[in-house]
Amino acid sequence: MTTRNESLFERARERIPAGVNSPVRAFRAVGGTPPFFERASGAWLLDADGKRYVDYVGSWGPMVLGHTHPQVVEAVQAAAAMALSFGAPTESEIELAEAICRLVPSVEMVRLVSSGTEATMSAIRLARGHTGRSLIVKFEGCYHGHADSLLVKAGSGALTFGHPSSAGVPPETAAHTLVLDFNDIAQVETLFKEKGHQIACVIVEPVAGNMNLVLPKAGFLESLRENCSRHGAVLIFDEVMTGFRVALGGAQARYGIKPDLTTLGKVIGGGLPVGAFGGKRDIMEKIAPLGPVYQAGTLSGNPVAVAAGLATLKLVEEKDFQSKIEKTTRSLVDGLIEEARKAKTVFCAQSIGSMFGLYFRAAPPTSFAEVMQCDKDRFNRFFHAMLERGVYLAPSAYEAGFVSAAHGPTEIDATLAAAREAFKA
């Protein structure tokens, strides 16, 4: 018998490429049919077939409070009753900008946009305009959105010019992007000695979350700050994922390192489309109309999205919020490690803040190459076994997971009970 999820997926594929509006939703990495969700509340999702799931995707990070938090919903409803969009200045934009500048250590000025991709693309353009240089440096396994210059992977060697990892990206565009290994300080030092005077910026996820969760080694972020400062390059922390997740002020607050520019998204929109980039005043004043670097957006600072973001940040700022959610995340990770040990399964896990990573290997990875050593087939079996038992994980072995403030003992216990059986799959 065909389920409603299967019928919807078949219908979607007629009009939407692969039936989804973002590639990972298609379940191609794990196989099978994706559930089509209809409702969400707290830590739970309900699909088109009426099945409930404990959610560890959280709309890929924004739902740090849990789904449909009453105060966020109320703020959105009030804003929508006033207007859906102005395309003109509003006081709420100022309030969100002030909140970001107050909470994120390095941000003196900020501009709102509508997505993380838009934020990183704009930050890189700004870095190039500020320095008058062309080369950018990124790290293999770090994802910064789908702008052309960022869809690049390493060539024949880690220090060679990159080449496109997506059709439609001209080689001459990719040639301005250099790709290094995450956590490799020696590569950073060597590259800056050779090409430091040509490098406009280094962009990095300070805690990588798009090749599963990979933590920075001691000294790695410090080496980026030191080399960028010495050679006049702009250091960009992509905190679209880590912002307000690994600490109230993001990874830069947790590790005590100030980048020159920061990109944000996800949590600052409370589940609605908002992004931002900000940093040092002298750099940000190069943005039009003050300066020569052009950036614009019709829906930037949308009042409904900003209302959701403001309501979310107000709650995230509350005393003990971060410590409580981090403790819950740690209990999940510790429990999964113990269940795997009992099942005699090669498995490890780790967390930081409310982000976590699951790996079917003996020790947590520290680079993209080590992530690729994880047992992908074993993860796929685990994923489907958990899904059958009502636990929704990211449908890929290469994505971080997220816990919300709505997760509690009931959800953690249900997850560990499912894992007890899933590790046997």
Please enumerate in sequence order all residues whose Cβ is within 8 A of that of 112, keeping only pairs 6 or more positions apart, or say none.
93, 96, 97, 274, 275, 276, 300, 301, 306
Q: Which of 266, 359, 392, 398 is catalytic?
A: 266
Compute the distance between CA of residue 401 and CA of residue 399 in angstroms, rounded to an integer: 7
Counting beta carbons within 10 angstroms of the beta carbon of residue 256, is it exposed (0 to 12), middle (13 to 18) or buried (19 or more)? exposed
Which of helix, strand or coil describes residue 160? Answer: coil
Active site residue 266: yes
Compute the distance between CA of residue 228 and CA of residue 238 in angstroms, rounded to an integer: 15
φ/ψ (deg, to 5) at 372: -70, -10
Amino acid sitting at position 424: K
Q: Which of 53, 56, 143, 359 is catalytic?
A: 143
Active site residue 181: no
**Beta 52-55 vs 199-204: how paired, if at all?**
unpaired
Sign of the C-alpha dihedral computed for residues 339, 342, 343 and 348 taken in this order: positive
Q: Which of 55, 181, 184, 238 is catalytic?
A: 238
Active site residue 286: no
Q: Which helix (H) or strand (E) holds 135?
A: strand 135-139
Catalytic residues: 143, 238, 266
